[in-house]
Structure 1
Protein backbone atom coordinates (compact mmCIF):
# COMPACT_ATOMS: atom_id res chain seq x y z
CA UNK A 1 0.00 0.00 0.00
CA UNK A 2 2.90 2.35 0.75
CA UNK A 3 4.30 1.90 -2.78
CA UNK A 4 0.93 2.65 -4.38
CA UNK A 5 0.19 5.70 -2.25
CA UNK A 6 3.70 7.16 -2.51
CA UNK A 7 3.87 6.56 -6.28
CA UNK A 8 0.45 8.10 -6.87
CA UNK A 9 0.95 11.13 -4.64
CA UNK A 10 4.48 12.00 -5.75
CA UNK A 11 3.70 11.81 -9.46
CA UNK A 12 0.36 13.65 -9.12
CA UNK A 13 2.09 16.52 -7.32
CA UNK A 14 5.18 16.49 -9.56
CA UNK A 15 2.98 16.61 -12.66
CA UNK A 16 1.30 19.91 -11.74
CA UNK A 17 2.67 22.50 -14.14
CA UNK A 18 4.90 19.90 -15.82
CA UNK A 19 5.43 19.94 -19.59
CA UNK A 20 3.24 16.87 -20.03
CA UNK A 21 0.40 18.61 -18.22
CA UNK A 22 0.85 21.53 -20.59
CA UNK A 23 0.78 18.99 -23.43
CA UNK A 24 -2.56 17.72 -22.08
CA UNK A 25 -3.89 21.27 -22.26
CA UNK A 26 -2.58 21.61 -25.83
CA UNK A 27 -4.18 18.31 -26.87
CA UNK A 28 -7.49 19.31 -25.29
CA UNK A 29 -7.55 22.50 -27.34
CA UNK A 30 -6.64 20.66 -30.55
CA UNK A 31 -9.03 17.67 -30.33
CA UNK A 32 -12.69 17.40 -29.34
CA UNK A 33 -12.54 13.69 -28.43
CA UNK A 34 -11.56 14.03 -24.76
CA UNK A 35 -11.91 10.30 -23.91
CA UNK A 36 -9.48 9.46 -26.76
CA UNK A 37 -6.96 11.96 -25.37
CA UNK A 38 -7.24 10.42 -21.91
CA UNK A 39 -6.89 6.88 -23.29
CA UNK A 40 -3.79 8.04 -25.18
CA UNK A 41 -2.32 9.49 -21.99
CA UNK A 42 -3.15 6.24 -20.18
CA UNK A 43 -1.56 4.03 -22.86
CA UNK A 44 1.59 6.15 -23.13
CA UNK A 45 2.01 6.36 -19.36
CA UNK A 46 1.51 2.63 -18.81
CA UNK A 47 4.20 1.78 -21.36
CA UNK A 48 6.63 4.54 -20.37
CA UNK A 49 6.28 4.12 -16.62
CA UNK A 50 6.17 0.32 -16.82
CA UNK A 51 9.55 0.32 -18.55
CA UNK A 52 10.86 2.99 -16.15
CA UNK A 53 9.76 1.17 -12.98
CA UNK A 54 11.23 -2.06 -14.31
CA UNK A 55 14.54 -0.31 -15.14
CA UNK A 56 14.80 1.11 -11.62
CA UNK A 57 13.91 -2.23 -10.06
CA UNK A 58 16.41 -4.05 -12.29
CA UNK A 59 19.27 -1.58 -11.70
CA UNK A 60 19.02 -1.70 -7.92
CA UNK A 61 19.58 -5.47 -7.96
CA UNK A 62 23.16 -4.93 -9.15
CA UNK A 63 24.15 -2.32 -6.62
CA UNK A 64 25.16 -3.22 -3.05
CA UNK A 65 22.34 -2.54 -0.55
CA UNK A 66 24.24 0.13 1.42
CA UNK A 67 25.11 1.99 -1.77
CA UNK A 68 21.64 1.61 -3.32
CA UNK A 69 20.04 3.20 -0.26
CA UNK A 70 22.22 6.30 -0.74
CA UNK A 71 21.72 6.36 -4.51
CA UNK A 72 17.93 6.02 -4.31
CA UNK A 73 17.62 8.45 -1.38
CA UNK A 74 19.96 10.94 -3.04
CA UNK A 75 18.00 10.62 -6.29
CA UNK A 76 14.77 11.55 -4.49
CA UNK A 77 16.49 14.60 -2.99
CA UNK A 78 17.88 15.64 -6.41
CA UNK A 79 14.41 15.21 -7.90
CA UNK A 80 13.05 17.45 -5.14
CA UNK A 81 15.45 20.18 -6.23
CA UNK A 82 14.66 19.61 -9.93
CA UNK A 83 10.93 19.99 -9.22
CA UNK A 84 11.57 23.57 -8.16
CA UNK A 85 12.68 24.41 -11.73
CA UNK A 86 9.55 25.13 -13.82
CA UNK A 87 9.08 23.49 -17.22
CA UNK A 88 8.57 25.43 -20.42
CA UNK A 89 5.63 24.81 -22.73
CA UNK A 90 6.53 22.76 -25.79
CA UNK A 91 4.71 23.55 -29.01
CA UNK A 92 3.16 20.72 -30.98
CA UNK A 93 3.78 20.96 -34.69
CA UNK A 94 0.70 19.04 -35.83
CA UNK A 95 2.46 16.20 -37.67
CA UNK A 96 0.41 13.63 -35.70
CA UNK A 97 -2.95 15.36 -36.30
CA UNK A 98 -3.89 13.10 -39.19
CA UNK A 99 -3.82 10.04 -36.91
CA UNK A 100 -6.53 11.30 -34.55
CA UNK A 101 -6.68 12.14 -30.87
CA UNK A 102 -5.74 8.73 -29.46
CA UNK A 103 -2.63 8.10 -31.59
CA UNK A 104 -1.48 11.73 -31.40
CA UNK A 105 -1.94 11.79 -27.62
CA UNK A 106 -0.20 8.42 -27.16
CA UNK A 107 2.82 9.29 -29.30
CA UNK A 108 3.25 12.88 -28.12
CA UNK A 109 2.73 12.00 -24.46
CA UNK A 110 5.15 9.04 -24.63
CA UNK A 111 7.82 11.21 -26.27
CA UNK A 112 7.27 14.09 -23.85
CA UNK A 113 7.71 11.74 -20.89
CA UNK A 114 11.17 10.59 -22.00
CA UNK A 115 13.62 12.14 -19.56
CA UNK A 116 10.81 14.01 -17.80
CA UNK A 117 10.79 14.49 -14.03
CA UNK A 118 7.94 12.04 -13.57
CA UNK A 119 9.72 9.37 -15.64
CA UNK A 120 12.89 9.77 -13.58
CA UNK A 121 10.76 9.66 -10.43
CA UNK A 122 9.24 6.40 -11.67
CA UNK A 123 12.70 4.91 -12.16
CA UNK A 124 13.61 5.91 -8.60
CA UNK A 125 10.31 4.58 -7.22
CA UNK A 126 10.91 1.31 -9.09
CA UNK A 127 14.29 1.08 -7.36
CA UNK A 128 12.72 1.92 -4.00
CA UNK A 129 9.88 -0.60 -4.04
CA UNK A 130 9.81 -4.29 -4.93
CA UNK A 131 6.67 -4.25 -7.07
CA UNK A 132 7.10 -2.87 -10.58
CA UNK A 133 3.37 -3.40 -11.15
CA UNK A 134 2.28 -1.41 -8.08
CA UNK A 135 4.70 1.43 -8.87
CA UNK A 136 3.47 1.53 -12.48
CA UNK A 137 -0.17 1.56 -11.36
CA UNK A 138 0.55 4.28 -8.79
CA UNK A 139 2.50 6.56 -11.11
CA UNK A 140 -0.11 6.09 -13.84
CA UNK A 141 -2.90 6.98 -11.39
CA UNK A 142 -0.92 10.07 -10.37
CA UNK A 143 -0.51 11.06 -14.01
CA UNK A 144 -4.25 10.66 -14.64
CA UNK A 145 -5.19 12.53 -11.46
CA UNK A 146 -3.13 15.49 -12.65
CA UNK A 147 -4.04 15.38 -16.36
CA UNK A 148 -7.70 14.33 -16.69
CA UNK A 149 -9.00 17.56 -15.10
CA UNK A 150 -6.77 19.56 -17.46
CA UNK A 151 -8.19 17.74 -20.48
CA UNK A 152 -11.76 18.56 -19.40
CA UNK A 153 -11.40 21.90 -17.59
CA UNK A 154 -8.40 23.21 -19.51
CA UNK A 155 -7.21 26.74 -19.22
CA UNK A 156 -9.59 27.81 -16.45
CA UNK A 157 -8.18 25.14 -14.16
CA UNK A 158 -4.54 25.87 -15.03
CA UNK A 159 -5.02 29.57 -14.19
CA UNK A 160 -6.42 28.72 -10.74
CA UNK A 161 -3.84 26.14 -9.64
CA UNK A 162 -1.13 27.52 -7.36
CA UNK A 163 1.78 26.12 -9.43
CA UNK A 164 4.54 27.34 -7.16
CA UNK A 165 2.89 25.88 -4.06
CA UNK A 166 2.31 22.55 -5.83
CA UNK A 167 5.96 22.39 -6.91
CA UNK A 168 7.13 23.17 -3.37
CA UNK A 169 4.78 20.51 -1.89
CA UNK A 170 6.03 17.92 -4.39
CA UNK A 171 9.66 18.86 -3.70
CA UNK A 172 9.13 18.53 0.05
CA UNK A 173 7.50 15.13 -0.42
CA UNK A 174 10.36 13.89 -2.63
CA UNK A 175 12.95 15.24 -0.17
CA UNK A 176 11.18 13.54 2.75
CA UNK A 177 11.07 10.20 0.91
CA UNK A 178 14.77 10.63 0.10
CA UNK A 179 15.74 11.31 3.71
CA UNK A 180 13.62 8.41 4.99
CA UNK A 181 15.24 6.12 2.41
CA UNK A 182 18.76 7.10 3.49
CA UNK A 183 17.99 6.91 7.22
CA UNK A 184 16.09 3.60 7.22
Structure 2
Protein backbone atom coordinates (compact mmCIF):
# COMPACT_ATOMS: atom_id res chain seq x y z
CA UNK A 1 0.00 0.00 0.00
CA UNK A 2 2.79 2.42 0.97
CA UNK A 3 4.70 1.49 -2.18
CA UNK A 4 1.68 2.31 -4.31
CA UNK A 5 1.12 5.64 -2.55
CA UNK A 6 4.82 6.38 -2.83
CA UNK A 7 4.65 5.89 -6.61
CA UNK A 8 1.85 8.48 -6.90
CA UNK A 9 3.56 10.98 -4.58
CA UNK A 10 6.90 10.59 -6.34
CA UNK A 11 5.39 11.13 -9.78
CA UNK A 12 3.30 14.04 -8.52
CA UNK A 13 6.23 15.98 -7.08
CA UNK A 14 8.47 15.37 -10.08
CA UNK A 15 5.82 16.76 -12.45
CA UNK A 16 4.87 19.59 -10.08
CA UNK A 17 8.48 20.73 -9.87
CA UNK A 18 8.95 20.45 -13.63
CA UNK A 19 5.78 22.34 -14.55
CA UNK A 20 5.88 25.30 -12.14
CA UNK A 21 6.42 28.35 -14.35
CA UNK A 22 6.54 26.18 -17.47
CA UNK A 23 4.75 27.06 -20.71
CA UNK A 24 1.81 24.72 -20.07
CA UNK A 25 1.05 26.50 -16.81
CA UNK A 26 1.03 29.78 -18.72
CA UNK A 27 -1.22 28.17 -21.34
CA UNK A 28 -3.70 27.06 -18.68
CA UNK A 29 -3.68 30.64 -17.41
CA UNK A 30 -4.52 31.88 -20.91
CA UNK A 31 -7.25 29.26 -21.48
CA UNK A 32 -8.86 30.17 -18.13
CA UNK A 33 -9.54 33.68 -19.43
CA UNK A 34 -11.60 32.23 -22.31
CA UNK A 35 -13.20 28.98 -21.07
CA UNK A 36 -14.89 27.84 -17.86
CA UNK A 37 -12.53 26.54 -15.18
CA UNK A 38 -14.04 23.05 -14.99
CA UNK A 39 -13.74 22.60 -18.76
CA UNK A 40 -10.13 23.76 -18.76
CA UNK A 41 -9.27 21.29 -15.98
CA UNK A 42 -11.03 18.44 -17.77
CA UNK A 43 -9.13 19.32 -20.94
CA UNK A 44 -5.84 19.42 -19.01
CA UNK A 45 -6.59 16.02 -17.47
CA UNK A 46 -7.46 14.41 -20.81
CA UNK A 47 -4.53 15.93 -22.71
CA UNK A 48 -2.05 15.10 -19.96
CA UNK A 49 -3.39 11.57 -19.49
CA UNK A 50 -3.09 10.80 -23.20
CA UNK A 51 0.35 12.36 -23.48
CA UNK A 52 1.81 10.81 -20.35
CA UNK A 53 -0.05 7.57 -21.01
CA UNK A 54 1.73 7.19 -24.33
CA UNK A 55 5.05 7.98 -22.67
CA UNK A 56 4.50 5.46 -19.90
CA UNK A 57 3.17 2.80 -22.27
CA UNK A 58 6.10 3.10 -24.65
CA UNK A 59 8.63 3.94 -21.93
CA UNK A 60 12.17 4.16 -23.13
CA UNK A 61 11.20 2.63 -26.51
CA UNK A 62 9.57 5.82 -27.79
CA UNK A 63 12.87 7.37 -28.77
CA UNK A 64 13.70 4.24 -30.74
CA UNK A 65 10.41 4.31 -32.64
CA UNK A 66 10.30 8.05 -33.43
CA UNK A 67 13.30 10.38 -33.11
CA UNK A 68 12.65 12.82 -30.30
CA UNK A 69 13.83 15.82 -32.30
CA UNK A 70 11.19 15.07 -34.97
CA UNK A 71 8.50 15.02 -32.27
CA UNK A 72 9.68 18.35 -30.89
CA UNK A 73 9.78 19.95 -34.36
CA UNK A 74 6.20 18.83 -34.99
CA UNK A 75 5.19 20.19 -31.56
CA UNK A 76 6.85 23.53 -32.36
CA UNK A 77 5.00 23.83 -35.68
CA UNK A 78 1.69 22.95 -34.02
CA UNK A 79 2.26 25.58 -31.33
CA UNK A 80 2.81 28.24 -33.98
CA UNK A 81 -0.35 27.11 -35.78
CA UNK A 82 -2.25 27.34 -32.47
CA UNK A 83 -0.95 30.88 -31.98
CA UNK A 84 -2.04 31.97 -35.45
CA UNK A 85 -5.38 30.19 -35.12
CA UNK A 86 -6.14 32.08 -31.91
CA UNK A 87 -5.72 35.37 -33.82
CA UNK A 88 -8.37 34.45 -36.36
CA UNK A 89 -11.01 37.20 -36.41
CA UNK A 90 -14.51 35.85 -36.01
CA UNK A 91 -17.87 37.31 -35.11
CA UNK A 92 -19.77 36.15 -32.05
CA UNK A 93 -22.05 33.82 -34.00
CA UNK A 94 -19.08 32.13 -35.66
CA UNK A 95 -17.28 31.79 -32.35
CA UNK A 96 -20.34 30.19 -30.82
CA UNK A 97 -20.54 27.71 -33.70
CA UNK A 98 -16.83 26.91 -33.35
CA UNK A 99 -17.22 26.32 -29.63
CA UNK A 100 -20.06 23.92 -30.37
CA UNK A 101 -18.08 22.20 -33.13
CA UNK A 102 -14.74 21.79 -31.36
CA UNK A 103 -15.57 22.53 -27.75
CA UNK A 104 -13.30 24.05 -25.10
CA UNK A 105 -12.42 20.65 -23.60
CA UNK A 106 -11.14 19.26 -26.91
CA UNK A 107 -9.27 22.50 -27.63
CA UNK A 108 -7.49 22.48 -24.25
CA UNK A 109 -6.83 18.71 -24.39
CA UNK A 110 -5.28 18.98 -27.86
CA UNK A 111 -3.14 21.95 -26.84
CA UNK A 112 -1.80 20.17 -23.77
CA UNK A 113 -1.29 16.90 -25.63
CA UNK A 114 0.77 18.63 -28.32
CA UNK A 115 2.45 20.96 -25.85
CA UNK A 116 3.84 18.08 -23.81
CA UNK A 117 5.13 16.07 -26.78
CA UNK A 118 8.85 15.70 -26.27
CA UNK A 119 8.70 17.98 -23.24
CA UNK A 120 10.54 17.36 -19.98
CA UNK A 121 7.37 16.24 -18.21
CA UNK A 122 6.74 13.56 -20.83
CA UNK A 123 10.36 12.47 -20.53
CA UNK A 124 9.97 12.50 -16.75
CA UNK A 125 6.90 10.28 -16.96
CA UNK A 126 8.76 8.00 -19.33
CA UNK A 127 11.76 7.76 -17.00
CA UNK A 128 9.65 7.10 -13.91
CA UNK A 129 7.84 4.27 -15.67
CA UNK A 130 11.02 2.38 -16.49
CA UNK A 131 11.65 1.41 -12.86
CA UNK A 132 8.09 1.41 -11.56
CA UNK A 133 6.08 -1.58 -10.42
CA UNK A 134 2.82 0.31 -10.91
CA UNK A 135 2.88 2.23 -14.24
CA UNK A 136 -0.79 3.23 -13.93
CA UNK A 137 -0.09 4.90 -10.59
CA UNK A 138 2.74 6.84 -12.21
CA UNK A 139 0.16 8.08 -14.71
CA UNK A 140 -2.18 9.10 -11.88
CA UNK A 141 0.62 11.00 -10.13
CA UNK A 142 1.76 12.83 -13.27
CA UNK A 143 -1.78 13.86 -14.22
CA UNK A 144 -2.42 15.11 -10.66
CA UNK A 145 0.79 17.13 -10.85
CA UNK A 146 -0.38 18.70 -14.13
CA UNK A 147 -3.80 19.49 -12.66
CA UNK A 148 -2.39 21.19 -9.57
CA UNK A 149 0.11 23.35 -11.50
CA UNK A 150 -2.56 24.16 -14.08
CA UNK A 151 -5.00 24.96 -11.27
CA UNK A 152 -2.56 27.54 -9.95
CA UNK A 153 -2.31 29.02 -13.44
CA UNK A 154 -6.09 28.99 -13.79
CA UNK A 155 -6.53 30.76 -10.45
CA UNK A 156 -4.28 33.57 -11.67
CA UNK A 157 -5.99 33.58 -15.08
CA UNK A 158 -9.48 33.95 -13.63
CA UNK A 159 -8.31 36.80 -11.39
CA UNK A 160 -6.87 38.84 -14.24
CA UNK A 161 -9.39 37.77 -16.88
CA UNK A 162 -12.11 40.24 -15.82
CA UNK A 163 -9.66 43.15 -15.57
CA UNK A 164 -7.92 42.86 -18.93
CA UNK A 165 -9.61 43.60 -22.29
CA UNK A 166 -10.53 40.53 -24.34
CA UNK A 167 -8.37 41.69 -27.26
CA UNK A 168 -5.31 41.98 -25.00
CA UNK A 169 -5.91 38.50 -23.61
CA UNK A 170 -6.23 37.14 -27.13
CA UNK A 171 -2.95 38.77 -28.23
CA UNK A 172 -1.05 37.62 -25.12
CA UNK A 173 -2.41 34.07 -25.45
CA UNK A 174 -1.36 33.97 -29.09
CA UNK A 175 2.04 35.39 -28.19
CA UNK A 176 2.61 32.57 -25.70
CA UNK A 177 1.94 29.92 -28.37
CA UNK A 178 4.08 31.68 -30.98
CA UNK A 179 6.99 32.28 -28.60
CA UNK A 180 7.26 28.72 -27.31
CA UNK A 181 6.64 27.26 -30.78
CA UNK A 182 9.42 29.37 -32.26
CA UNK A 183 11.73 28.59 -29.34
CA UNK A 184 11.11 24.85 -29.71
CA UNK A 185 11.91 24.99 -33.44
CA UNK A 186 15.09 26.98 -32.76
CA UNK A 187 16.23 24.44 -30.17
CA UNK A 188 15.46 21.32 -32.22
CA UNK A 189 16.00 22.12 -35.91
CA UNK A 190 19.36 21.01 -37.32
CA UNK A 191 21.97 23.78 -37.12
CA UNK A 192 22.44 23.86 -40.90
CA UNK A 193 18.88 25.18 -41.24
CA UNK A 194 19.39 27.94 -38.67
CA UNK A 195 21.11 30.41 -40.97
CA UNK A 196 20.62 34.16 -40.65
CA UNK A 197 18.73 34.23 -43.94
CA UNK A 198 16.37 31.39 -43.00
CA UNK A 199 15.68 32.88 -39.59
CA UNK A 200 15.06 36.30 -41.16
CA UNK A 201 12.66 34.87 -43.76
CA UNK A 202 10.81 32.88 -41.07
CA UNK A 203 10.42 35.89 -38.78
CA UNK A 204 9.34 38.11 -41.70
CA UNK A 205 6.67 35.62 -42.86
CA UNK A 206 5.48 35.08 -39.30
CA UNK A 207 5.29 38.85 -38.66
CA UNK A 208 3.34 39.43 -41.89
CA UNK A 209 0.92 36.64 -41.04
CA UNK A 210 0.40 38.02 -37.53
CA UNK A 211 -0.14 41.52 -38.95
CA UNK A 212 -2.75 40.25 -41.45
CA UNK A 213 -4.60 38.40 -38.67
CA UNK A 214 -4.34 41.17 -36.05
CA UNK A 215 -5.50 44.01 -38.33
CA UNK A 216 -9.19 42.93 -38.49
CA UNK A 217 -9.17 42.27 -34.72
CA UNK A 218 -8.10 45.87 -34.02
CA UNK A 219 -10.61 47.15 -36.56
CA UNK A 220 -13.42 45.09 -35.02
CA UNK A 221 -12.48 46.28 -31.54
CA UNK A 222 -12.63 49.94 -32.57
CA UNK A 223 -15.98 49.34 -34.27
CA UNK A 224 -17.37 47.67 -31.14
CA UNK A 225 -16.09 50.51 -28.96
CA UNK A 226 -17.88 53.06 -31.15
CA UNK A 227 -21.07 50.98 -31.10
CA UNK A 228 -20.81 50.61 -27.31
CA UNK A 229 -20.38 54.35 -26.83
CA UNK A 230 -23.43 55.01 -29.02
CA UNK A 231 -25.46 52.51 -26.99
CA UNK A 232 -24.34 54.13 -23.73
CA UNK A 233 -25.26 57.58 -25.04
CA UNK A 234 -28.68 56.33 -26.21
CA UNK A 235 -29.30 54.66 -22.85
CA UNK A 236 -28.25 57.78 -20.96
CA UNK A 237 -30.59 59.91 -23.08
CA UNK A 238 -33.54 57.56 -22.48
CA UNK A 239 -32.86 57.33 -18.74
CA UNK A 240 -32.51 61.10 -18.41
CA UNK A 241 -35.86 61.54 -20.17
CA UNK A 242 -37.62 59.05 -17.90
CA UNK A 243 -36.05 60.49 -14.75
CA UNK A 244 -37.00 63.98 -15.90
CA UNK A 245 -40.64 62.87 -16.20
CA UNK A 246 -40.51 61.29 -12.73
CA UNK A 247 -39.04 64.47 -11.21
CA UNK A 248 -41.56 66.65 -13.08
CA UNK A 249 -44.32 64.52 -11.58
CA UNK A 250 -42.75 64.97 -8.16
CA UNK A 251 -42.58 68.78 -8.46
CA UNK A 252 -45.14 70.62 -6.30
CA UNK A 253 -45.83 73.22 -8.99
CA UNK A 254 -45.59 77.00 -9.12
CA UNK A 255 -48.99 77.44 -7.51
CA UNK A 256 -47.49 76.06 -4.26
CA UNK A 257 -43.82 77.06 -4.58
CA UNK A 258 -43.94 80.08 -6.87
CA UNK A 259 -41.52 80.45 -9.76
CA UNK A 260 -39.02 77.58 -9.81
CA UNK A 261 -35.50 78.93 -9.34
CA UNK A 262 -33.86 75.51 -9.26
CA UNK A 263 -30.84 76.13 -7.06
CA UNK A 264 -32.91 76.64 -3.90
CA UNK A 265 -34.97 73.46 -4.39
CA UNK A 266 -33.49 69.98 -4.46
CA UNK A 267 -36.10 68.75 -6.97
CA UNK A 268 -35.96 71.90 -9.07
CA UNK A 269 -32.18 71.69 -9.36
CA UNK A 270 -32.35 68.04 -10.41
CA UNK A 271 -35.06 68.77 -13.00
CA UNK A 272 -32.86 71.45 -14.59
CA UNK A 273 -29.85 69.11 -14.60
CA UNK A 274 -31.83 66.32 -16.26
CA UNK A 275 -33.12 68.76 -18.85
CA UNK A 276 -29.55 69.82 -19.62
CA UNK A 277 -28.53 66.18 -20.10
CA UNK A 278 -31.52 65.54 -22.38
CA UNK A 279 -30.53 68.53 -24.52
CA UNK A 280 -26.79 67.80 -24.43
CA UNK A 281 -25.34 64.47 -23.25
CA UNK A 282 -21.96 66.19 -22.73
CA UNK A 283 -23.37 68.94 -20.53
CA UNK A 284 -21.10 69.90 -17.63
CA UNK A 285 -22.95 69.77 -14.31
CA UNK A 286 -21.83 71.71 -11.26
CA UNK A 287 -22.98 69.34 -8.53
CA UNK A 288 -21.62 71.59 -5.80
CA UNK A 289 -24.75 73.72 -6.22
CA UNK A 290 -27.02 70.79 -5.34
CA UNK A 291 -28.96 71.66 -2.13
CA UNK A 292 -27.80 69.45 0.75
CA UNK A 293 -31.19 69.16 2.40
CA UNK A 294 -34.88 69.11 1.57
CA UNK A 295 -37.19 71.73 3.07
CA UNK A 296 -40.43 70.80 1.30
CA UNK A 297 -43.09 68.15 1.72
CA UNK A 298 -43.25 66.00 -1.40
CA UNK A 299 -45.73 63.19 -2.12
CA UNK A 300 -43.98 60.15 -0.61
CA UNK A 301 -45.64 57.74 -3.06
CA UNK A 302 -44.22 59.69 -5.98
CA UNK A 303 -40.82 59.83 -4.27
CA UNK A 304 -40.79 56.05 -3.83
CA UNK A 305 -41.79 55.53 -7.46
CA UNK A 306 -39.07 57.87 -8.72
CA UNK A 307 -36.44 56.33 -6.43
CA UNK A 308 -37.41 52.80 -7.47
CA UNK A 309 -37.09 53.69 -11.16
CA UNK A 310 -33.71 55.28 -10.50
CA UNK A 311 -32.42 52.25 -8.59
CA UNK A 312 -33.60 49.89 -11.35
CA UNK A 313 -31.52 51.92 -13.83
CA UNK A 314 -28.53 51.82 -11.49
CA UNK A 315 -28.73 48.03 -11.21
CA UNK A 316 -28.43 47.64 -14.99
CA UNK A 317 -25.45 49.86 -15.66
CA UNK A 318 -21.73 49.48 -15.08
CA UNK A 319 -20.98 53.13 -14.37
CA UNK A 320 -21.93 53.69 -10.72
CA UNK A 321 -19.55 56.56 -9.92
CA UNK A 322 -20.91 59.33 -7.72
CA UNK A 323 -21.17 61.91 -10.51
CA UNK A 324 -23.20 59.66 -12.77
CA UNK A 325 -26.56 61.33 -13.49
CA UNK A 326 -28.51 58.26 -12.32
CA UNK A 327 -26.58 58.00 -9.08
CA UNK A 328 -26.96 61.73 -8.39
CA UNK A 329 -30.71 61.52 -8.95
CA UNK A 330 -30.83 58.56 -6.56
CA UNK A 331 -29.06 60.64 -3.90
CA UNK A 332 -31.55 63.47 -4.31
CA UNK A 333 -34.48 61.11 -3.82
CA UNK A 334 -32.76 59.44 -0.85
CA UNK A 335 -32.40 62.81 0.86
CA UNK A 336 -36.13 63.47 0.36
CA UNK A 337 -37.27 60.01 1.51
CA UNK A 338 -34.64 59.07 4.13
CA UNK A 339 -32.96 62.36 5.01
CA UNK A 340 -29.53 61.14 3.87
CA UNK A 341 -27.67 59.56 0.96
CA UNK A 342 -26.81 55.87 0.92
CA UNK A 343 -23.74 54.60 -0.94
CA UNK A 344 -24.56 51.88 -3.44
CA UNK A 345 -22.12 48.93 -3.25
CA UNK A 346 -24.43 46.07 -4.11
CA UNK A 347 -28.18 45.48 -4.20
CA UNK A 348 -28.46 43.40 -1.03
CA UNK A 349 -26.46 45.67 1.27
CA UNK A 350 -28.16 48.76 -0.17
CA UNK A 351 -31.68 47.60 0.65
CA UNK A 352 -30.56 46.40 4.08
CA UNK A 353 -29.27 49.90 4.75
CA UNK A 354 -32.54 51.48 3.56
CA UNK A 355 -34.55 49.21 5.89
CA UNK A 356 -32.25 49.97 8.81
CA UNK A 357 -32.96 53.69 8.36
CA UNK A 358 -36.73 53.32 7.79
CA UNK A 359 -38.10 49.78 7.72
CA UNK A 360 -41.45 50.69 6.15
CA UNK A 361 -40.09 52.90 3.36
CA UNK A 362 -37.14 50.57 2.76
CA UNK A 363 -39.45 47.60 2.22
CA UNK A 364 -41.67 49.62 -0.10
CA UNK A 365 -38.74 50.68 -2.28
CA UNK A 366 -37.35 47.12 -2.33
CA UNK A 367 -40.73 45.70 -3.30
CA UNK A 368 -41.29 48.27 -6.05
CA UNK A 369 -37.82 47.71 -7.55
CA UNK A 370 -38.54 43.96 -7.69
CA UNK A 371 -41.81 44.71 -9.51
CA UNK A 372 -39.99 46.91 -12.03
CA UNK A 373 -37.43 44.15 -12.61
CA UNK A 374 -40.31 41.76 -13.37
CA UNK A 375 -41.83 44.29 -15.76
CA UNK A 376 -44.86 45.08 -13.58
TM > 0.5: yes
**Residue 16 (1) aligns with residue 16 (2):** no
User: Equivalent residues in 2 for 1:72-87 (5 A)?
Assistant: none
CA contact (8 A) 1:55 1:126 kept: no
In structure 2, C-alpha distance between the alignment counterparts of 1:42 and 1:15, rounded to whole Å: 14
Equivalent of residue 5 in structure 1, options 2, 9, 23: 9
Superposed CA deviations along residues 21-51 of structure 1, whole A, max 9, x for unmatched, are 11111111232x1111110000111111111
Q: Structure 1 residue 36 and structure 2 residue 42: aligned? A: no
Alpha-carbon shift at residue 132 of structure 1 (Å): 1.3
Unaligned runs of 5+ residues in structure 2 are 62-78, 89-94, 161-376
CA positional deviation for 1:155: 7.8
Give the TM-score of the pair, scaled to structure 1.
0.61
Given that residues 8 and 142 in structure 1 are in contact (C-alpha distance below 8 angstroms), is that contact kept between their aligned partners in structure 2? yes
- After superposition, the CA RMSD in angstroms is 2.3
CA deviations on 1:65-96 (whole Å, 9 max, x unpaired) are xxxxxxxxxxxxxxxxxxxxxxxx9773327x
Q: Any runs of at least 4 consecutive aligned residues in structure 1 with deviations exceeding 4 A, and if so which?
A: none
Q: Which residue number in structure 2 is paired with residue 143 of structure 1?
A: 146
Q: Please give the alpha-carbon distance, in whole angstroms, between the structure 2 residues aligned to 1:127 and 1:150.
A: 30
* Whole-angstrom distance in 1 between the partners of 2:21 and 2:138: 22
* 2:132 alignment partner in structure 1: 129
Q: Which of 103, 111, 116 is the aligned partner of 1:113?
A: 116
2:31 to 27, 34, 45: 27
Gaps of 5+ in 1: 60-88, 158-184
Matches within 5 A, 1:42-121: 42-56=45-59, 59=61, 92=83, 93-94=85-86, 98=98, 99-121=102-124
Kindly indicate whether the alpha-carbon contact (under 8 Å) linking 2:9 and 2:141 is maintained by their aligned counterparts in 1: yes
Structure-1 separation of matches of 2:121 and 2:16: 9
Do 2:125 and 2:138's aligned partners in 1 also have CA atoms closer than 8 Å? yes
CA shift for structure 1 position 143: 0.7
CA distance in 1, matches of 2:137, 2:103: 31
Of structures 1 and 2, the one with the larger relative CO (CA 8 A, separation 6+) is 1
- Structure ID, larger Rg: 2
The alignment's TM-score, normalised by the length of structure 2, stands at 0.31
Cα displacement (A) at 1:156: 6.5
